[in-house]
Amino acid sequence: MNSDFDAIVVGSGISGGWAIKELTERGLKVLLIERGPETIHGEDYIGEGKAPWELPYHGAIPEDTLSKEYAIQQQCYALNDATKQFFVNDHQHPYITKKDKPFSWIRGYQLGGRSLLWYRQSYRWSEMDFAANKLDGYGVDWPIRYRDIAPWYDHVETFAGISGSKEGLEQLPDGQFLPPMEMNCVELEVKKQIEHQFPNRSMIIGRCAHLTEPTKEHLELGRGQCQSRDQCERGCSFGAYFSTLSATLPAAKRTNNLTILTDSIVQSVIYDDTKKRATGVRVIDAITNERKELNARIIFLCASTLGSTQIMLNSRSASFPNGIANSSGCLGLNLMDHIFESGASGEYPGFKDKYFKGRRPNGIYIPRYHNISSRDERFLRGFGFQGGGKRPSWKRAKSMPGIGVSLKEQLRKPGSWTFNLGGFGEMLPDKRNRVWLDENLKDKWGIPVLNIECTLRDNEKRMLKVMSEDAREMLEASGMINVQPYNNSAPPGLAIHEMGTARMGHDPKTSVLNKYNQAHDVPNLFVTDGSCMASSACQNPSLTYMALTARASAKAVEMLQEGKL
Amino acid sequence: MGVSIPLSQLDILASSFAASKDDFDPQFLGSKNFILLQQISDLVIPRTDTPGAIDAGVHIFIDLMLNEWASEETKVKYLAGFKGINNMAIISFDTSFVDCTTTQKISLIESLDVANAKLDNDSQIFFRDLKWFIISGYYSSEEGASVELNYDRMPGKYQGCLPFSEQDKAWSS
């Protein structure tokens, strides 16, 4: 393999996919390095379209396999026999947490990364979110504001295909949307009641990366319309949801500027103390263990929040004894996730003569309403709700006594309408939530494993309590009966929105990256995945990673052309 | 809610037991336990004008699951559970479960089928798990999911608010 690459992109998930697209389309020769195996769009979606009875064990993973190989990954709703090839084997990919401080690190090591597995909710951040750190003093000020990223949201939404409704909400800006998905009758009723009884709240259909009406650009990439199968995590050969494999990878490939290296683990970034530049990466062949160095003019780390930080911490040199670009000492600090698993569910007594068709891979969204126009004394920042209404299937029998003909007759009908509201809340940046390399334990390739320590603090705990109370209140106000509030303590990480640990900021003394996701200390090193986040907001973060990556890619090419890198 | 099986169904129960027990050699369960499983499966989801658990091969599925899918712990639990139910039959009716009359079987199962909050012995807990195994095995089988209920492989556009009448069936997923 020749080593004359303009850019190396590490990681092929949502962020890496955007980096290769934007860099190759601007004429750069790009090497994409993925630690997992190649995945072929369509061909490798082995469970796609299969009915439960067509799957081994009707889709259940054998119990011993589950406990030995997926001890952590099994906490993720999307793991089953048809998707397990897209999740890491926990046994082979260890990390360390303290016993009383669990952190669920859900990972997918393959070409496409977790872009194959994500839940596809896509929300913009607003001005309020980028200003939050400065306003209340938690974390460092974001070096960008909404106006800096807005055109890039436009750019990524148009290409990815985001379905949604325009709402004119200050805290959740509208974007370039494909037609919204439909709400069902109960959702429409709940929306009406909530918006009537709580004037500063609204309920909208979820904004999601699904093609409800593909454009010419989507069709040209071989993508097609969503068929409401709701088996997205098995892979979708229609390319109806956005993933690296359905969208950014084919876009990058058609430039003929892309080279892909799979089964190749980046151990560290090489730094030249004289040139004061990153010159390449050290790579280990995941299968043969062969080691080599690959060089390029610029490096983009898109290996996921903790993946990129682990690589940087492991990139030690005379100039950076504690990890590349870590003169601030901030690398590894301020890990965040979203807090969730708090909300309420209830039953709706009406609409017995109404039903739905299709498995909508999307729900409803209640955008944040606390701490917007007035200050809530109970907690800082805010949360939104995801959820929706449905008529439960036979699965409700799990808690039903009864057998025989009467049970069978009951289960032939759908259950009464039920409705769930589950909060997703902002976690404050806190330097005590952090990762670091272990001094002793190494993985099978000799790379020091991560220690992860992340716990919820008072603000998060207070917010979780209010989430559940608010959800109960809204469901009761909407005419629900048997409303059950819940506040389960999910381990951090399980929202799979882990972010932070290489944050952006104005000041090289307190942050790792500048406003273009460029390392303060190493001008030709860019980090554009979730690790760059200076705060977490409460919106699902992937769309923001896409926009930041596209923006950073454009800037990197510009600087490269100007001879600044 | 108790067990309610119309008398007209009892013949079907009896005939379906006879029909399939010779066809299949269980891989995990001994023949006695396999027949026990088959009979309980039929009590939980009987054949009506639509296929029942046995028509769907749920007992065969569970035997396969126990053989290939279950951990050692689960295997032990199921063997102990079947033994427990059999012991109850011997204590109450002086005969093994499979040799009980249908009425005796129903009364025994009725005593095990209690709401979660009222579970108070190992056999009841075991029956809850076994019942769920039978139900989930049935409604994820081709007969249960696509004959008893409706299965939509390729729904197309989601429609959120369609008329539903008492004759209509639920989606299986």
Q: What would the pLDDT profile of B129-157 be if each residue is shown by its tens digit?
A: 999 999 999 999 999 999 999 999 999 99
Q: Which residue of B has its CA nearest to A62?
A: B69
Statement: residue B17 has pLDDT above 90: no
What percentage of chain B carries pLDDT values higher than 90?
Answer: 79
Contact criterion met (CB below 8 Å) for A231 and A47: yes
Backbone angles phi, psi at A437, to 5 degrees: -80, 140
Could you tell me if residue B39 is inside a domain?
yes
Chain A residues lying within 8 Å of B57, measured CB to CB: none
Q: What would the pLDDT profile of A291-331 be if each residue is shown by its tens digit?
A: 999 999 999 999 999 999 999 999 999 999 999 999 999 99
Give the model's confidence band at A3: pLDDT under 50 very low, under 70 low, under 90 confident, else very high. low
Section B46-56 average pLDDT: 98
pLDDT score recorded for residue A426 = 98
Could you tell me if residue A511 is inside a domain?
no
pLDDT score recorded for residue A160 = 98
Residue type, A128: M
Could you tell me if residue A349 is inside a domain?
yes
For chain B, how many structural domains are there in total? Answer: 1
Q: What would the pLDDT profile of B112-131 be if each residue is shown by its tens digit?
A: 998 877 888 899 999 999 99
Q: Do A401 and B43 touch (CB under 8 A)?
A: no
pLDDT score recorded for residue B4 = 41
Q: What would the pLDDT profile of A479-514 be if each residue is shown by its tens digit?
A: 999 999 999 989 999 999 999 999 999 999 999 999
Could you tell me if residue B170 is inside a domain?
no
What percentage of chain A carries pLDDT values higher than 90?
Answer: 98
Chain B residues lying within 8 Å of A397, measured CB to CB: 132, 135
**Of the given ranges (A1-10, A250-259, B94-103), which has the lowest mean pLDDT?**
A1-10
Residue A420 forms beta bridges with which residues? A345, A388
What percentage of chain A carries pLDDT values higher than 70?
Answer: 99
Give the model's confidence band at A290: pLDDT under 50 very low, under 70 low, under 90 confident, else very high. very high
B6 near A CB under 8 A: yes
pLDDT score recorded for residue B23 = 67
B18 near A CB under 8 A: no
Shortest alpha-carbon distance between residue B91 and chain A (Å): 23
Q: What would the pLDDT profile of A70-109 be if each residue is shown by its tens digit?
A: 999 999 999 999 999 999 999 999 999 999 999 999 999 9
A226, two tokens: 């969503």
Predicted model pTM: 0.95
pLDDT score recorded for residue B10 = 41
* Best B7, B69, B143 residue to mutate vs chain A (most A CBs within 10 Å): B69
Q: What would the pLDDT profile of A98-139 be if each residue is shown by its tens digit?
A: 999 999 999 999 999 999 999 999 999 999 999 999 999 999
pLDDT score recorded for residue B7 = 39
Q: Do A52 and B116 touch (CB under 8 A)?
A: no
Label the pairing between strands A30-33 and A258-261.
parallel
Label the pairing between strands A162-163 and A177-178.
parallel
Residue tagged 């004037």 (tokens): A199
Could you tell me if residue B32 is inside a domain?
yes
Could you tell me if residue A202 is inside a domain?
yes
Chain B residues lying within 8 Å of A60, measured CB to CB: 65, 69
A-contacting residues in B 137-156 (Cβ below 8 Å): 137, 139-142, 144-146, 148-149, 151-156
**Of the given ranges (A44-58, A159-173, A352-366, B112-126), which has the lowest mean pLDDT?**
B112-126
Q: Which residue of A has its CA nearest to B2?
A: A402
Please give the residue that has the higher pLDDT: either B120 or B91.
B91
Three-class DSSP category at B168:
coil
Q: What would the pLDDT profile of B67-90 be if each residue is shown by its tens digit?
A: 999 999 999 999 999 999 999 999
Domain that holds residue A361: 179-234+340-425+456-491
Question: What is d(CA A352, CA A552) in angstroms, rounded to the nearest whole number?
Answer: 52
pLDDT score recorded for residue B9 = 43
Q: Do B170 and A411 touch (CB under 8 A)?
A: yes
pLDDT score recorded for residue A498 = 98
Could you tell me if residue A266 is inside a domain?
no
Q: Which residue of A has its CA nearest to B39?
A: A404
For chain A, how many structural domains are there in total? Answer: 1
Question: What is d(CA A485, CA A269) in angstroms, rounded to the nearest whole number?
Answer: 48
Statement: residue B18 has pLDDT above 80: no
pLDDT score recorded for residue B14 = 41
Question: Alpha helix (H) ranges present in A114-263?
Answer: 127-136, 146-160, 185-197, 216-220, 249-253
- How far is the CA of A256 from the CAs of A15, A30, A260, A294, A380, in angstroms? 20, 10, 11, 20, 48
Chain A residues lying within 8 Å of B70, measured CB to CB: 62-63
Question: What is d(CA A480, CA A188) in angstroms, rounded to the nearest whole number?
Answer: 14
B136 near A CB under 8 A: yes
Question: What is d(CA A300, CA A504) in angstroms, rounded to the nearest whole number?
Answer: 15
Domain that holds residue B38: 7-148
The number of C-beta contacts closer than 8 angstroms across A and B is 174
Three-class DSSP category at A196:
helix
> What does the mean pLDDT of chain A come to?
97
Could you tell me if residue B160 is inside a domain?
no
Q: Which residue of B has its CA nearest to A411?
A: B170
pLDDT score recorded for residue A468 = 98
ipTM of the complex model: 0.93
Statement: residue A27 has pLDDT above 90: yes
Residue tagged 């989606």 (tokens): B171
pLDDT score recorded for residue A2 = 47
Shortest alpha-carbon distance between residue B25 and chain A (Å): 19
pLDDT score recorded for residue B152 = 97
Q: Do A393 and B114 touch (CB under 8 A)?
A: no
Statement: residue B19 has pLDDT above 80: no
